[in-house]
Structure formats: C-alpha cells, structure tokens
C-alpha cells in the first residue's frame, strides 16, 4: 500500500518563489529599459523645432513691423509696435490680382491632370494590352525629364500656338509635368481595390464607364486628394513657367508678384513678408483639409 506524503505549504512556497521573483526582476528590468530617456531623439527634436519655429517667427514678426522698426531693430527682436501697414501695402501692390491668377492656374492644372490621370490609371490597372503597358512606361520616362531642360522647346511651342502671355500657357506645361507622378499615385491607389469588386460589377453587366464612375471614383478618394494637393502645390509655387511664358501684369501670379516689393531703391521686407504670409494661407488650408487622405494616398500600394 503506497503512502502519499503531502508537501508542507512552506516548502511549496519556497519552490515557487524563485521563479516568480525572476519574472518580476525581468519585468522590472524591461520597464527600466523602456522608460530610459532618449536624449539623442530629444536633442534632434529640439533642433528641428528651432529650424521650423525661427523662420516662422521671423516671417510673422517682420510682417507686423513698420519699415523703420525693421531697419532699426534686429530681425529676431520683438516688434516694438504691431502694425498692419505691410499687409495694406501688399494689397496696394496688387496681391488680389496675383492671388486670383494663381488660383486659376492651380485649379486649371488640377482639373486637367485629374481628367487625364484617372482614366489612364484605370486603363493601366484593368487592361492587359501591350499598348497600355508601353504608354505607362512612356509616362514613367517623364519623371526623368526636368522642366529646365525643355523650357526652350516649351517656349517655342507656346508661341507657335499663340498662347504666350496667357494663363493657359502656364496651366498646360504645369499639368503636363505633374502627370507622371499623378498617374503613378493613382495607379497604386486603384491597385488596392480588390479585383473581386471589378469582377462582380462585370458579371452584373456594368460597362467600363459604369465601373469607373460607380466603383473607381468613390474608392480612389485618397489618391485623388493626394494628386490634388501635389498638383496644387506645384502650380502654386511654380516660378519657371510664369517667368518664361508670361510678361504682363495681368497674367502675373504670386511667385512673380513678390518681385513687386523689390525696387531700384531697395526691398520692402515687411511688405514682402506680409505677402508671403497671405500666400501661404490657402496652402495651409488645403493641407489641413486633406492631410489624412494625403497620407493614405501616399501609402497606397506599398504592400503590393
């Protein structure tokens, strides 16, 4: 007859205690490793903050100074008297006209790029034709051609079409050079759409136009917003095409309009900074409106 000897409770506790203590010590060590401050990251963040904040402070503070205060005080000093005279001078120079022209160029380029890039991306994703693949390759080659290298042929082409010194002369090349990147972004966005959705609509008897209108457009919103912001920023900040392809004050856009603050007697720095602040507000509003779609559109197709 076998006898079962029970272990004392004290011994049982002693055998379990070392394992538990080892786990607790490992957990404490892990927590110490996690909570260790990253001094390098903090220093890098502080340097980045200074590089961003100081130019913004100079921009806003200078736009609120008077001309005399800017010349007498240092560029980073606090304005002795806050005034809006620089903004008044910016509007007197013709800021509203420059702003209107820039908006026309930006919206025209955005509409033209979306009208071409969306159908092209849809054809690239759905078609298996060799012609479509060759066309996509040709669009990708456009990424390697800088605008500065072909500005003379563009100038000759615009003058032959009798479009010189018009906003159309700025819209067309701006949209053309934005097409390659826009098609790549939209193609990546449309490839994220499951192929089963395309097949389901095809089995239901939907035409290519119905698939494009009812499926592609709603599901490619992030890519469309990304392209809109990209093309809008390019058109808004474009300096080369307006400089070469326009001449009169009626077709002057914001980047060229900032030249009006520089005369033969000097530069109106407060007025120039005020115009820069005003010209940055539409770009900031556009980014705040579509920042989430911008990030998701840029990340489209990464996992493919």
Q: Kind and range of the H or E element at 300?
A: none
CA distance 185 to 292: 15
Domain residue spans of the chain = 40-83, 93-298
Per-residue confidence (pLDDT) for residue 49, from 0 to 100: 84
Mean pLDDT within 207-212? 82
CA distance 202 to 210: 10
Whether pLDDT at 113 is above 90? yes
Report the predicted TM-score, pTM, of the whole model to 2 decimal places. Answer: 0.77
Give pLDDT tens digits for 181-208: 999 989 888 888 888 888 888 888 888 8
Give the pair of three-digit tokens for residue 236.
């808004």
Give the pair of three-digit tokens for residue 65.
């100074």
Per-residue confidence (pLDDT) for residue 155, from 0 to 100: 94
CA distances from 139 to 43, 48, 143, 179, 301 (A): 43, 36, 8, 8, 18
Whether pLDDT at 8 is above 70? no
CA distance 213 to 123: 13
Residue 231 DSSP symbol? H
Per-residue confidence (pLDDT) for residue 151, from 0 to 100: 93
CATH number of 93-298: 1.10.3720.10
Q: Residue 181's CB: how many other CB atoms inside 10 A? A: 20
Mean pLDDT within 247-269? 84
Whether pLDDT at 44 is above 70? yes
Give the pair of three-digit tokens for residue 81.
């008297």
Percent of residues, the chain, with pLDDT higher than 70: 81
Per-residue confidence (pLDDT) for residue 210, from 0 to 100: 84
């Amino acid at each position: 007859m076998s006898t079962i000897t029970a272990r004392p409770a004290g011994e049982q506790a002693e055998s379990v205690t070392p394992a538990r203590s080892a786990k607790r010590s490992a957990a404490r060590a892990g927590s110490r490793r996690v909570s260790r401050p990253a001094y390098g990251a903090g220093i890098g963040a502080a340097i980045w903050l200074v590089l961003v904040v100081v130019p913004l402070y100079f921009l806003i503070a200078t736009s609120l100074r008077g001309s005399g205060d800017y010349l007498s005080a240092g560029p980073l000093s606090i304005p002795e008297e806050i005034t809006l005279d620089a903004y008044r001078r910016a509007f007197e120079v013709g800021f509203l006209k420059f702003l209107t022209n820039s908006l026309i160029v930006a919206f025209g380029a955005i509409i033209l790029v979306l009208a071409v890039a969306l159908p092209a991306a849809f054809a690239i994703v759905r078609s298996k034709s060799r012609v479509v693949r060759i066309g996509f390759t040709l669009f990708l080659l456009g990424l390697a051609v800088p605008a500065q290298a072909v500005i003379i042929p563009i100038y000759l082409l615009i003058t032959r079409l009798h479009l010189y010194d018009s906003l159309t002369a700025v819209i067309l090349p701006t949209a053309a050079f934005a097409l390659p990147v826009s098609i790549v972004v939209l193609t990546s966005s449309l490839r994220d759409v499951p192929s089963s959705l395309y097949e389901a609509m095809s089995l239901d008897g939907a035409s290519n136009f119905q698939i494009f209108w009812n499926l592609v457009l709603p599901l490619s919103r992030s890519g469309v917003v990304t392209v809109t912001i990209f093309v809008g920023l390019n058109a808004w900040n474009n300096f080369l095409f307006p400089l070469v392809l326009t001449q009169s004050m009626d077709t002057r856009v914001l980047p060229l309009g900032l030249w009006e603050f520089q005369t033969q007697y000097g530069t109106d720095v407060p007025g120039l900074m005020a115009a820069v602040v005003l010209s940055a507000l539409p770009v900031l509003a556009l980014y705040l409106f579509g920042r989430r779609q911008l990030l998701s559109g840029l990340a489209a197709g990464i996992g493919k």
